[in-house]
Amino acid sequence: MNELVNRLSLGAAQAKTLNRQPTAQMLLDAVEAIETRDARIAELTEALQDVLALSDYRKSRELAEIKEVIAKARAVLASSGPKAVRRTASEDDVANALYSEYRSILRS
């Protein structure tokens, strides 16, 4: 998945360099959507693991702890999830994009 995010970021940097702003924004939005989805999956997975751990009959649990785990799981399910950090193309990204483009032109 990181490879896809890196490729999308590189594509955004290339599009930005070539003054294709709508394309660059679309690629950056795709990266943000993937990162948001991954963060939400991690958050839901953690909540589910906590709820599943309640079924471990070998551990004795206090009622307050059970209520806390269930309340946390409900809050996670009710929330819209964490926000991804917005990415912008750095100078290094742009330089790497230009270098890659230059090499692909030379290979042709």
Question: Structural domain of residue 95, as residue ranges?
Answer: 2-107
pTM as predicted: 0.55
Residue type, 3: E
Q: How far apart are CA 28 and CA 5, in angstroms?
A: 9
User: SS3 breakdown of the chain: % helix, strand, coil, rounded to 5?
Assistant: 75, 0, 25
Q: How far apart are CA 17 and CA 15, in angstroms?
A: 5
Residue 34 clears pLDDT 80, i.e. is over it: yes
Domain count along the chain: 1
Q: What pLDDT, in 10s, does the model give residues 58-91?
A: 777 788 888 888 898 888 888 877 665 555 556 6
